[in-house]
Amino acid sequence: MCGRVVTASGPEELSEHLGADAVVDVLDGPDHNVAPSGRLPIFWEDSGGGATGGSRRLLGTARWGLVPRWAKDPSFGHRTFNARAETVATKPSYRSAFRRRRCVVPVDGFYEWGPGRPGDGGGTTARKQPWYVQRTDGAPMVLAGLWEDWFAPDVEADEVLVLRTCTVITVPANADMAPVHHRMPAVLESGDWATWLDPAAEEVDALEDLLVPAPDGVVCRHPVARSVGDARRKGADLTTPVDLEGESTGRAGHVPPAPDQGSLW
């Protein structure tokens, strides 16, 4: 699962990192605790933009929770903030966007809830520990996603309102994440961005081949304070490492494996 993320990098940094041709929308500022229905940065390819009619790569924002165009109202997005890689090409909620509206979601990291202290791994009453996950190299984490535009008429203004939404695709966990949760976001490397973003790409197998667990060592994690569970908390202190049983924990290999207990969302 992926139910809380950090969006601290500014549009200039993300635009340079991703190679954007234009920035069309920006977030209000850093947010170290974005929950579903919040806004995320997204990067996609517009095949009809530009004065010459050529494609452009755009950096903008979208509400987190995909709302397909046939949905009756935006509340549909409350349950579609994650899409499973195994069914994203066929599930009605996602299949249209998978064919034509793929994007990447650049974040600084994400939180996941799982076992903490060695004694926390067993019973149903065990208290879950939040972990902050980021790239080991410190670069923005570029996640595979989908986007949609949902249209609603505004009768009073005599116009159509457009709501852009997105979802993050998840895959089975790699060895770095497995002790915490059995799923993780699909992390794309720069060499895969062009294939994923190309709206003309129609080979489902080639696209699905990109949706795999990150190689071991690409991400690292450390425990953080349980105050991150309050979505109203937004400060950078939420990513500060905390000690478990008096021992600092910075990498997945420092934590004894524990059975999965599911995600908070």
Positions marked catalytic:
2, 112
**Secondary structure, 3-state, 220-264:** EEEECCHHHHCCCCCCHHHHCCCEECCEECCCHHHCCCCCCCCCC
Rounded Cα–Cα distance for residues 134 and 2 (Å): 13
* Share of the chain residues as helix, strand and coil, in percent rounded to the nearest 5: 20, 35, 50
Residue 41 pairs in a beta bridge with 61
Interacting residues of 148 by C-beta distance below 8 A, sequence separation 6+: 66, 67, 68, 69, 96, 97, 101, 164, 165, 166
**Token duo for residue 66:** 């995909």
Q: Over the range 206-220, which residues count as b (16 or more CB within 10 Å of their CB) and which as e?
A: ebeebbebbeeeebb
